[in-house]
Amino acid sequence: MKLPRKFYKKNTLKVAQDLLGKILVRKYRGKKLVGKIVETEAYIGKDDLACHASRGLTKRNRVMFGQAGFAYIYIIYGMYYCLNIVTEKEGFPAAVLIRAIEPIAGIDVMQKLRVKSLNSPDRDTKFKKRHLPIDKSLTNGPGKLCRAMSINKNLNGEGLAGEKLWIEDRSIKILKKDVIKTKRVGIDYAGRCKNYPWRFYLKNNNFVSAI
C-alpha cells in the first residue's frame, strides 16, 4: 500500500533510513515500473551546505520548502535528473535523494528507456532474459534510475499520493545491521558538512551505486 503523507513529515534522517526496502512505483504508459529502494541520502535545511536550500528559496528549489511527500526533481550536469522526496514540516526545506533501486518489474520497459550506447553489446539476442542476471547498471545511480523510470521535470512538484509516481510498503523487513551509513557522494564543496554520515544503503546489495 502507498505510504501515507505522515511517513514523510518527520525527521529526514529517519525517513531516509525508513525508505530503504520500500518500493518505488512509476506508472508509465499504463505499465508499472517497480523497484526496491536500496540507497538514499538526506539533505536537511539551510544549515546543510550540500542542500540546495542552503542559499535560500529559489525558483528551482521551491518544492523543497513545501509539504512533505512531494517529488523534488532537478537537472544535474545538464543531462541527468535526480529524484528527491520532500520531508519535514512545511516551510522547512529538506528532502531525501533516491540514489539507487533494485528493479523488480517493468524491466523490459526500463531497458528500452535506457539510451543504448554504441559500444554496449546486445545482451538479449542470444539468451533468454530470465536466465540472465539483471543488469545493475540500469538503476545503480540517481541519474540512471530516473532515466530507467522516465522520471523528469514534468514530475517536479508531483504528489506521491497521485497516480504517476508513489512509494509502497510491501512489508520488507530491513535489519538495522544491514543499513550502512557513510558520507554523501559528490559534495566535496560542502565544507563542514561534507563528511556528515547522511548516506544510507543496504549492505551487500548489488544495486547500490558504485563510488
Among positions 117, 125, 171, 204, the unique one binding DNA when judged by CB under 7 A: 117
Q: Which residue has the cell 525508513?
A: 18
Three-class SS of 64-122: HHCCCCEEEEEEECCCEEEEEEECCCCCCCEEEEEEEEEEEECHHHHHHHCCCCCCCCC
Which residues, including other chains, have CB under 8 Å from residue 176's CB and lie 6 or more apart?
none
First to last CA, the chain: 32
**Closest to 137 in 3D by CA, of 96, 167, 172, 102:** 102
Residue environment code for 104-114, b if the CB has 16+ CB neighbours within 10 A, otherwise e: bebbebbbebb
Q: Of the candidates 1, 119, 127, 173, which one interacts with DNA according to CB under 7 A?
A: 119
Subset of 54-93 contacting DNA (CB under 7 A) = 55-56, 58-61, 64, 72, 74-80, 82, 84
User: Does residue 101 interact with DNA by CB under 7 A?
Assistant: no
Counted residue by residue, the chain has a size of 211
Which one of the spans 17-25, 115-123, 160-168, 191-199 is the region binding DNA (CB under 7 A)?
115-123
Stretch that binds DNA, among 5-13, 31-39, 114-122, 162-170 (CB under 7 A): 114-122
Name the region of 111 (left: φ>0; alpha: ψ -120 to 50; beta: rest): alpha
40 binds DNA, rule: CB under 7 A: no
Element (H, E) at 144: helix 142-148
118 binds DNA (CB under 7 A): yes
Contact residue for DNA among 20, 97, 110, 167 (CB under 7 A): 97
Instruction: Report in angstroms how near the CB of residue 114 gets to DNA at its nearest.
Output: 7
Residue 192, interface with DNA (CB under 7 A)? no
Of the two residues 75 and 105, which places its CB atom closer to DNA in the complex?
75
Minimum CB separation of residue 89 from DNA in Å reads 17
* Radius of gyration in angstroms for the set of CA atoms belonging to the chain, rounded to a whole number: 17
Q: Which of residues 132-151 bind DNA (CB under 7 A)?
A: 137, 141-145
Quick check: 51 binds DNA (CB under 7 A)? yes
State the residues that interact with DNA by CB under 7 A. 41, 43, 50-52, 55-56, 58-61, 64, 72, 74-80, 82, 84, 95, 97, 114, 117-120, 137, 141-145, 185-187, 189, 209
